[in-house]
Each structure stands twice: as C-alpha cells, then as structure tokens.
C-alpha cells in the first residue's frame, strides 16, 4: 500500500462523483426526505422522538451500501479493476481509496441529515448532537464497507442491487427498530447480536435518551468500527489479481 | 506432442538472452475449455511482435497470462526476467485490454492523470500520452462522450503514461480509420526501435502483419508460425500473410500429428 496511490484513488472517485449530480443528490438529499416524511407521518405523536435518532443511523447505512456496491461492481465489469491490479496499486489502496472518498461524503451526509432532523423536524435528543453525527458517519462507513464486500459476490449491477434486500433488510428487521432487541425471541435476539446495524441503532437510541451517553456509546462505536475494518479486509480478499 | 521442440526455435533467440517474454509449456483452461494446451514462445526485446490469428484462438488468454491476470494450470511465463505478474513488474509492463478500460465519467486528462499517479509517472507524461494518441482536441472531454475508436486510444494512452518496458496491446487498432491505424503502428515502431521498448500486439486483421517486425500465428491455442513476414512468405510460397496463414492451416489439418 502507498499513500500516494490511495489518495489518488480517492481523488479520482470524488471527481467521478462530482460529474454525477444525481448520485450526490441521492447521498445528501434522500436521507433528509425520508426523515422528513417520517416526522410528518408521526406529527403530533412522540413516535418520531423515539425512532428518529435510530433512523438517522439506518438511512445513511442503506444509501451508502447501494451506492458503493454498484460503484465498485462497475469498476469490475468495466475492466478498470483488472487494469488497476496490473499496476502498482495495492488491494488496500483500492479499498481505502473508496472508504475515504465515501467517508468524506458520509461526513457531509451526516451533518446535513442530523441538522435537518434536529432543526427542521424538531427531533428532541438528550445527549450531545455531535455524537449523533459521529455515529451517523460510522453507520455510513459501515454501509460503504459492506457494499465493497458484497460487490465481490455480485456478477452484475442487477444482482448488486438485489443484495440490498438480502443483506440490509434482515438487519433492519432485527436491529430493534420494530421490536426492542431484548423482547425478540431468543434465537433472533442472538442473531441480532451478530448484525452490525443493531449496534448503530443501540448507539443512536442511547444518545437520544441519556444526557451523558459517551461512555455507553463508545462500546457500540467500537463494534461498528470493528465491523468496518473486518468488511474492508474481507472485501480486499475478493479482489483477485488472477482470474479464470 | 513435445517431439518438435528443436524445430520450434525458428526465431533463433534463445530464452533468457534478449528475450522480453519467455513462455514455456503454458497450459490454460478457461471454464471447460482447454484454451492453450501446451504453448511455448519467446518475444524478443526491442521489437514489435504481432500476435495474429482468428478470434477464439487464445490470443487474449496468452496476453492475460503474460501480464499475470490469467489463472494458469501449469507452465512458466517469465517477463523481463521475473515471473509474470510479480509485483516488481507492475510498473514495467503496460496492458491494454480489448475493450477500453478507462473511466467513462472522467475527462481524458483526468483519466490519464489518475493512471500517471498510480504508476508514479511524471506530470508531463499525461500531455505526452495525449499527443501520442492524437487526442489533444478532446483532452477535456468526458470519455463517455467520445467515439469507440477515441475511447480505445484513451485506454492505450493510459498505458503509455507509465512508459513501460513491455507493452501488451490486445487489438489496439480495432475500429480505427486507416490514417489513425498507420499513425499508431508508426508510434509502436518508434517506441520499439528508438526507445528499446518491446511491443506485443494482437490483431485479427492479417494485413497488419506487414507492420510487425515478427509474427506469431496462433490458432486453436497452437503457434502455427513464429518468424518474420518475409521468412513466412518464403516458407509457404504465399503472396501475403493471409494466404500464408491459410496455407499453414491446411498443412496442419492435412497432417495433424506433426503440425509444423
């Protein structure tokens, strides 16, 4: 790995994004629209305060997962990945290059979505606002890392998009949004312990409910960061220099 | 099968000395199909070597094995003295795939700037590569808006920025008009004869044989001929490369046990 090549890769990906206004809108606007819709649906009830923060963790995760899995798959099918792997570019340069580029987008996305939820939708939280942003960025990065991993198993963009229901929806169902995780049947509850999105939702809920949540949330963040690193490492194993 | 090892060395260049690429007993299977049964060949340094033959004959597979992206069953491929695909070779070998592999949503210049950074090439290499493939007027256009021939030139330029010692080009002149084809072949010759680079260029257009210093005819995974064009014409008595190729195919078909 080589910092020059990693950063060149990040710059190249951001340049590609800059030329693609619709994808930027997808990343920055869609989470706000979804949060706005939700706040409107539950207008006048306490529900939005209960689940708004948690969804602030879920939406960036889903959006980044889709964008990343399709972007990297395009790199495989266009032959650019095969070409890059004949150059001095390391697998880590490729994975980190994507993680950094989409990480920058994730920071923007988290700032906009959190600001929108608090100041436009009137989300009430007990803990500090900056911590919401930190967890939202981690969730978006988790989506990116899982997207990079999963794109290795998709042969076409058509399949990549279909991984969304396969990889994301089970996590969504079990993460504690619909039914609290400790109220789930024990097998499902154990399953949810192995799903990184559960920790994202736990962290967001704690921030929403507890005035001094830093200590409690640190463990959740550590699990999420561990899942990011593991996904990136596994994902780089799916990049093969030699193919059949 | 291996009783013709002596006759195979028609090139005269012994493996190791002055050879950019040495392939020995390469055996490649793709899917269910044996693409290269047992292929041995040498590409001399500082020449433009053409790899000609019908599509499906194993040209791309041989090229992929040389740049080290092809899984091989057995056999050895040595490139510039190193095993093919080893990390020491990654800035010494340039590879251009058959379909253009560049970013359609970036401009020509931004594409080349990226590959230059990855290859650690100097900044002015981008402008030199753009001039070499005659795309100055399109330098700031997005690659997605260019024609097919222009795109494949961008893909070629992305390999040229690194100034590699060995350039492996898979059908680089497909879809180009005669003037551009002539210009590119002149560029290949300049790179080989003035700068000592080695070019290994595939084509299924037989009339491009006249542009090459040396010709390899590949059919069904077997080398039918490895010589210069004049030698090939003398041996087969054919008037041009296409006729010579057909003569060799007929000869191999009539005499399948001891082809060549």
Predicted confidence (pLDDT) per residue in B226-248, tens digit: 999 999 999 999 998 889 988 98
Task: Give percent above pLDDT 70 in chain A.
Answer: 100
pLDDT of residue B256: 63
pLDDT of residue B257: 54
Query: Which among A83, A241, A244 is the nearest to B97, CB-wise?
Result: A83
- Verify whether the Cβ–Cβ distance A243 to B158 is below 8 Å: no
CA distances from A121 to A43, A56, A139 (A): 9, 12, 21
**For helices A129-151 and A196-209, angle between their N-to-C axes, nearest 10 degrees:** 170
Query: What CA–CA distance (Å, rounded) separates B147 from A205?
Result: 53
pLDDT of residue B8: 37
Least confident residue range of A109-113, A178-182, B136-140, B193-197: A178-182
Beta carbons of B80 and B93 less than 8 angstroms apart: yes
DSSP run (H or E) holding B20? strand B19-30
With respect to residue A133, please indicate whether it lies within any of the assigned structural domains. Answer: yes
User: pLDDT under 50 in chain B at which residues?
Assistant: 1-16, 259-260
pLDDT of residue A14: 95
Query: What CA–CA distance (Å, rounded) separates B190 from B186?
Result: 6
Q: What is the mean pLDDT of residues A47-55?
A: 86
The length of chain A in residues reads 244
Contacts of A114 (CB under 8 A, 6+ apart): A56, A129, A132, A133, A136
In chain A, residues with a C-beta closer than 8 Å to the C-beta of B142 are: 19
Contacts of A153 (CB under 8 A, 6+ apart): A163, A238
With respect to residue A244, please indicate whether it lies within any of the assigned structural domains. Answer: no
- B interface test, pick of A2, A24, A88, A90 with most B CB neighbours within 10 Å: A88
Helix (H, G, I), strand (E, B) or coil at B144: helix
Beta carbons of B55 and B65 less than 8 angstroms apart: no
Closest by Cα among B65, B71, B64, B62 to B31: B71
Predicted confidence (pLDDT) per residue in A162-172, tens digit: 888 888 889 98
In chain B, residues with a C-beta closer than 8 Å to the C-beta of A242 are: 68-71, 85
pLDDT of residue B1: 41
pLDDT of residue B221: 92
Query: What CA–CA distance (Å, rounded) separates B39 from B126?
Result: 37
Give chain A's domain count.
1
Query: What CA–CA distance (Å, rounded) separates A228 from B212?
Result: 51
Measured in angstroms, the CA of B61 and the nearest CA of chain A are apart by 10
Cα angle value B97/B100/B106 (rounded, 5°): 135
Q: If you average pLDDT over every residue of chain A, what do you get?
A: 90
With respect to residue A243, please indicate whether it lies within any of the assigned structural domains. Answer: no
Domain of A159? 3-238
Contacts of B216 (CB under 8 A, 6+ apart): B41, B49, B50, B51, B52, B223, B225, B226
DSSP run (H or E) holding B66? helix B59-67
- Verify whether the Cβ–Cβ distance B69 to A86 is below 8 Å: yes
- Chain A's closest residue to B64, CA to CA, is A242
- Please give the residue that has the higher pLDDT: either B9 or A160: A160
In chain B, residues with a C-beta closer than 8 Å to the C-beta of A82 are: 69, 97, 101
Predicted confidence (pLDDT) per residue in A202-239, tens digit: 999 999 988 888 989 999 999 999 999 999 999 888 88
Q: What's chain B's Rg over C-alpha atoms?
A: 18
With respect to residue A7, please indicate whether it lies within any of the assigned structural domains. Answer: yes
Q: What is the mean pLDDT of residues A100-117?
A: 92
ipTM of the complex: 0.86
Query: What CA–CA distance (Å, rounded) separates A122 from A189?
Result: 32
Provide the token pair at A129.
Answer: 């606002």
Q: What is the mean pLDDT of residues A99-110?
A: 92
Beta carbons of A20 and A74 less than 8 angstroms apart: no
In chain B, residues with a C-beta closer than 8 Å to the C-beta of A9 are: 114, 118
With respect to residue A213, please indicate whether it lies within any of the assigned structural domains. Answer: yes
Beta carbons of B51 and B63 less than 8 angstroms apart: yes
pTM of the model: 0.87
With respect to residue A143, please indicate whether it lies within any of the assigned structural domains. Answer: yes
Contacts of A236 (CB under 8 A, 6+ apart): A91, A92, A94, A95
């Amino acid at each position: 790995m080589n910092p020059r090549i990693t950063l060149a890769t990040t710059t190249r990906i951001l340049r590609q994004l800059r030329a693609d206004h619709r994808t930027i809108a997808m990343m920055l606007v869609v989470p706000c629209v979804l949060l706005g819709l939700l706040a409107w649906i539950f207008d006048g009830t306490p529900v939005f305060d209960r689940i708004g923060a948690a969804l602030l963790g879920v939406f960036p995760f889903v959006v980044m997962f889709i964008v990343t899995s399709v972007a990297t798959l395009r790199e495989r099918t266009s032959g650019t990945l095969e070409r890059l792997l004949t150059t001095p570019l390391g697998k880590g340069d490729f994975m980190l290059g994507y993680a950094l580029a989409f990480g920058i987008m994730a920071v923007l996305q988290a700032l906009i979505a959190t600001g929108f939820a608090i100041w436009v939708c009137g989300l009430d939280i007990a803990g500090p606002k900056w911590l919401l942003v930190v967890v939202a960025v981690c969730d978006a990065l988790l989506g990116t890392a899982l997207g990079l991993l999963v794109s290795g198993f998709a042969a076409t963009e058509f399949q990549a998009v279909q991984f969304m229901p396969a990889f994301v929806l089970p996590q969504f169902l079990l993460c504690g949004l619909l039914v609290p995780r400790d109220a789930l049947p024990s097998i499902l509850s154990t399953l949810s312990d192995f799903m990184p999105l559960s920790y994202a939702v736990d962290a967001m809920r704690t921030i929403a409910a507890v005035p001094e949540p830093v200590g409690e949330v640190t463990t959740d963040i550590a699990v999420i960061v561990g899942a990011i690193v593991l996904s990136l490492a596994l994902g780089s194993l799916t990049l093969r220099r030699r193919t059949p | 099968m291996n009783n013709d090892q002596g006759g195979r060395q028609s090139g005269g260049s012994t493996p190791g000395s002055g050879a950019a690429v040495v392939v020995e007993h390469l055996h490649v299977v793709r899917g269910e199909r044996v693409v290269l049964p047992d292929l041995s060949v040498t590409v001399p340094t500082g020449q433009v070597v053409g790899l000609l033959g019908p599509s499906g004959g194993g040209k791309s597979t041989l090229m992929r094995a040389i740049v080290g992206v092809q899984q091989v069953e057995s056999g050895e491929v040595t490139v510039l003295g190193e095993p093919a695909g080893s990390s020491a070779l990654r800035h010494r070998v340039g590879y251009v795939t058959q379909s253009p592999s560049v970013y359609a949503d970036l401009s020509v210049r931004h594409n080349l700037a990226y590959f230059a950074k990855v290859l650690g090439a100097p900044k002015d290499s981008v402008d030199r590569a753009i001039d070499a493939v005659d795309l100055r007027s399109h330098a700031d256009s997005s690659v997605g808006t260019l024609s097919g021939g222009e795109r494949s030139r961008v893909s070629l330029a992305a390999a040229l920025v690194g100034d590699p010692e060995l350039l492996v080009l898979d059908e680089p002149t497909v879809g180009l008009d005669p003037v551009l084809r002539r210009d590119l072949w002149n560029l290949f010759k300049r790179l080989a004869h003035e700068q000592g680079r080695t070019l290994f260029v595939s084509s299924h257009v037989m009339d491009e044989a006249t542009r090459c210093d040396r010709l390899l005819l590949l059919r069904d995974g077997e080398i039918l001929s490895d010589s210069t064009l004049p030698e090939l014409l003398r041996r087969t008595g054919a008037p041009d490369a296409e006729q010579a190729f057909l003569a060799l195919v007929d000869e191999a078909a009539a005499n399948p046990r001891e082809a060549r």
